């Protein structure tokens, strides 16, 4: 029976069913569940970057792309090479701070995490320590934490997140919401531009929006980056460690934080010297984005494309570290992001049967967990010209707790995609979930953001990780469904993110169907999608 489970369970009428069916092919649960359970299986070893499990995932995806009938890329295959450098910190590495005759050597893993992005196996660094507030230069906010002070050869310590709103300026840096200036990626990038010897971010759970275990787990694994200059030292300081360090140097951390909330803030020399010995195993590897194409049906519009994306990687395996009482060493990444990768396969299988007017590109980026590396490589060398790409619709960490009466489209309001999403939701008998402040910087934490930075309207359609705050309207047992979604946060980037056969995937099918419907809506629209005034990140000419 081909009627969509999501529509029946939601109690939609036949007219709505017909409208949705006219807009896009109908998805069913069985193929999505099969792909999800397989990609999340221990057989794939957590789909780690630079690991055997990652290679297996790529092989599976390209094989399925061929079976489905997606057209290969210009070179005849489905792989897009991504050149990546891998760095694994060795145990003899350490960072020591000397202040007022006192030496502090934080314990790696529990008090500090660090590594190098400079591509050198052995580094010895001696540098002064400078507090630079939020480490942001934002001309549109008339904000500059560096004030032209030379940072070459200095180790920078800074806060995560953005300058907070005030009564006088309730909307500065987007109010309570995150901006890109608050993201660790921006702060590391700015430190490179400043010529610093390195950067350490002060971790708090509220400012980062995730617990210490997230950066601790990330830095315990091999870390990756695209080729190019990076910081000799970069990492995080646990808040209590930072507080003790500042106190030893004769400074009050909270007082300096308060100073950093004003435009008058200037960098503060902490009168502390840093000695770091960073020893790493470094290797150059080649990973692959996977992509396939459904050519458009319109003689003119097929020159343009809509992209659907979902990263295939997770954190892989680490046999040297036991992460729970079972001795589990595999970060399966069932929700993050076997769910999105599986959904794209199910969507592509139906799309090939019903081409849209514009071309549809199905993209599985590599190394998202390493800093959105695969999508960054894609926009540098895209399978379809970015100037002819109308939108990117991304899926990452999908709904596994049941049907909703609404759908999350956070970030769509930045472009005409919001109005398109409203139309699709209306035809499906859904409504758009209420807008909430982006307190976690979710818009900047998934692969669509690289498209946005390159000028392509883009957003992430819903999320079990970043939208699990109970604001969705669940069809069955709303309180229990919301609680399960919120509870997943303890599994985020942990070995416990594993597939469970009793998951209710009707909501995941619903989310995938909405995304496919939206892809058809923009794929068949008379004009390409556009940014709203003041919200464009890039300057791609259309």
Of 282, 317, 341, the last residue of a domain is: 282
Task: Please give the Cα distance from 522 to 533 (Å, whole number).
Answer: 20
Count the domains in the chain: 2
Same-domain pairing of 470 and 407: yes
- Is residue 419 a part of any domain in this protein? yes
- Is residue 308 a part of any domain in this protein? yes
The closest of 184, 186, 164 to 176, measured between CA atoms, is: 164
**Three-state secondary structure call for residue 364:** strand
- Is residue 29 a part of any domain in this protein? no
Has residue 19 got a pLDDT over 60? no
Same-domain pairing of 374 and 444: yes
Mean pLDDT of 407-424: 95
Same-domain pairing of 125 and 243: yes
Domain carrying residue 62: 39-71+295-476+505-524
Has residue 108 got a pLDDT over 70? yes
- Is residue 190 a part of any domain in this protein? yes
Q: What pLDDT was estimated at residue 6? A: 37
Contacts of 47 (CB under 8 A, 6+ apart): 39, 53, 54, 56, 57, 312, 313, 314, 316, 333, 338
Q: What pLDDT was estimated at residue 5? A: 35
Same-domain pairing of 220 and 251: yes
Query: CA angle, corner 95, sides to 93 and 101, nearest 5?
Result: 140
Same-domain pairing of 397 and 450: yes
Query: pLDDT digit string (tens) for 376-400?
Result: 999 999 999 999 999 999 999 999 9
**Three-state secondary structure call for residue 264:** coil
Q: What pLDDT was estimated at residue 318? A: 79
Same-domain pairing of 451 and 368: yes
pLDDT cut 70: percent of the chain above it: 91
Same-domain pairing of 54 and 190: no
Same-domain pairing of 223 and 304: no
Query: pLDDT digit string (tens) for 493-511?
Result: 889 999 999 999 999 999 9
Lowest-confidence range among 5-9, 77-81, 142-146, 350-354?
5-9
- Is residue 46 a part of any domain in this protein? yes
In this structure, are residues 502 and 348 in contact, taking their beta carbons and an 8 Å threshold? no
The secondary structure element, H or E, covering residue 283 is strand 268-294
How far is residue 193 CA from its own chain's centroid? Answer: 23
**Three-state secondary structure call for residue 467:** coil
Torsional class of 372: left (φ above 0), alpha (ψ -120 to 50), beta (otherwise): left
Query: pLDDT digit string (tens) for 348-380?
Result: 999 999 999 999 999 999 999 988 999 999 999
Q: Can you give the CATH number for the domain in which 413 is found?
A: 3.40.630.10
How far is residue 329 CA from its own chain's centroid? Answer: 23
Task: Give the dihedral of Cα atoms 247, 248, 250, 255; nearest 10 deg.
Answer: -20
Same-domain pairing of 254 and 305: no
Q: What pLDDT was estimated at residue 442? A: 81
What φ, ψ does residue 372 adopt, rounded to 5°? 60, 40
Q: Which one-letter DSSP state was computed for residue 396?
A: -
Contacts of 14 (CB under 8 A, 6+ apart): none
Of 282, 312, 343, the last residue of a domain is: 282
Query: pLDDT digit string (tens) for 257-299?
Result: 999 999 999 999 999 999 999 999 999 999 999 999 999 999 9
Task: Please give the Cα distance from 457 to 393 (Å, whole number).
Answer: 9
Same-domain pairing of 255 and 341: no
Q: Which one-letter DSSP state was computed for residue 163?
A: P
Task: Please give the Cα distance from 367 to 360 (Å, whole number).
Answer: 22
Lowest-confidence range among 76-85, 274-283, 482-491, 496-505?
482-491
Q: Exposure of 334 by Cβ count < 10 A (0-12 exposed, 13-18 middle, 19+ buried)?
A: buried
Q: Which one-letter DSSP state was computed for residue 443?
A: G
Distance set, CA 216 to CA 88, 143, 282, 305, 376 (Å): 13, 31, 20, 39, 24
Query: pLDDT digit string (tens) for 181-215?
Result: 998 989 999 999 999 999 999 999 999 988 999 89
- Is residue 24 a part of any domain in this protein? no
Gyration radius of the chain's alpha carbons: 23
- Is residue 470 a part of any domain in this protein? yes
Count CB atoms within 10 A of the CB of residue 216: 19
Task: Please give the Cα distance from 216 to 113 (Å, whole number).
Answer: 6
What φ, ψ does residue 531 adopt, rounded to 5°? -75, 155
Query: pLDDT digit string (tens) for 47-71?
Result: 999 999 999 999 999 999 999 999 9
Is pTM, for the whole model, over 0.85?
no
Of 251, 282, 313, the last residue of a domain is: 282
Q: What pLDDT was estimated at residue 471? A: 65
Task: Please give the Cα distance from 241 to 246 (Å, whole number).
Answer: 9
Q: Can you give the CATH number for the domain in which 122 is found?
A: 3.50.30.30
User: Tokens at residue 508, please?
Assistant: 């995941």
Same-domain pairing of 211 and 254: yes
- Is residue 32 a part of any domain in this protein? no
Count CB atoms within 10 A of the CB of residue 162: 26
Same-domain pairing of 188 and 309: no
């Amino acid at each position: 029976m081909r009627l969509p489970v999501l529509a029946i369970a939601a109690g939609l009428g036949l007219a709505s069913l017909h409208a949705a069916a006219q807009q896009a092919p109908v998805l069913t649960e069985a193929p999505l569940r099969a792909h999800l359970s397989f990609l999340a299986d221990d057989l794939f070893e957590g789909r780690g970057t630079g690991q055997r499990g990652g290679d297996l995932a790529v092989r599976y995806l390209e094989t399925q792309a061929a079976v489905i009938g997606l057209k290969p890329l210009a070179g005849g295959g489905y792989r897009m090479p991504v050149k990546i450098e891998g760095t694994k910190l060795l145990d003899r590495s350490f960072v020591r701070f000397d202040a007022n005759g006192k030496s502090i050597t934080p314990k790696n893993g529990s008090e500090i995490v660090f590594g190098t992005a400079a591509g050198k196996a052995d580094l010895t660094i001696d540098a002064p320590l400078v507090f630079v507030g939020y480490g942001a230069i934002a001309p549109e906010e008339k904000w500059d934490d560096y004030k032209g002070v030379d940072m070459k050869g200095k180790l920078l310590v800074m806060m995560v997140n953005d300058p907070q709103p005030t009564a006088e300026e309730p909307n500065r840096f987007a109010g309570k919401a995150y901006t890109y200036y608050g993201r660790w990626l921006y702060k590391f990038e700015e430190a490179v531009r400043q010529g610093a010897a390195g950067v350490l971010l002060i971790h708090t759970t509220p400012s980062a929006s995730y617990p210490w275990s997230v950066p601790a787990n990330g830095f315990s694994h091999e870390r990756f980056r695209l080729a190019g200059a990076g910081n000799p030292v970069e990492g995080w300081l646990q808040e209590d460690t930072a507080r003790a360090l500042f106190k030893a140097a004769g400074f009050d951390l909270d007082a300096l934080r308060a100073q950093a909330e004003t435009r008058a803030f200037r960098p503060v020399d902490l009168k502390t010297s840093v000695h770091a010995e960073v020893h790493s195993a470094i290797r150059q590897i080649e990973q692959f984005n996977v992509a396939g194409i459904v050519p458009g049906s319109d003689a003119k519009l097929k020159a343009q494309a809509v992209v659907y994306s979902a990263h295939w990687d997770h954190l892989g395996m680490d046999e040297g570290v036991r992460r729970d009482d079972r001795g589990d060493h595999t970060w399966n990444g069932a929700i993050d992001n076997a769910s999105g990768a599986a959904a794209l396969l199910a969507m592509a299988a139906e799309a090939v049967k019903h081409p849209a007017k514009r071309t549809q590109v199905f993209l599985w980026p590599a190394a998202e967990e390493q800093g959105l590396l695969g999508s960054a490589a894609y926009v540098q060398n895209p399978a379809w010209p970015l100037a002819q790409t109308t939108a990117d619709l991304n899926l990452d960490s999908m709904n596994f707790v049941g049907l909703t009466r609404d759908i999350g489209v956070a970030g769509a309001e930045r472009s005409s995609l919001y109005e398109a999403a409203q139309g699709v939701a209306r035809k499906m008998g859904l409504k758009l979930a209420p807008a909430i402040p982006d307190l976690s910087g979710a818009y900047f934490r998934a692969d669509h953001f690289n498209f946005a930075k390159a000028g392509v309207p883009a957003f992430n359609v819903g999320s079990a990780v970043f939208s699990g705050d109970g604001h969705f309207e669940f069809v069955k047992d709303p309180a229990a469904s919301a609680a399960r979604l919120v509870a997943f946060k303890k599994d985020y980037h942990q070995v416990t993110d594993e597939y469970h056969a009793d998951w209710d995937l009707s909501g995941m099918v619903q989310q995938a169907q909405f995304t496919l419907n939206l892809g058809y809506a923009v794929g068949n629209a008379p004009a390409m999608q556009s940014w709203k005034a003041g919200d464009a990140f890039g300057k791609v000419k259309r």
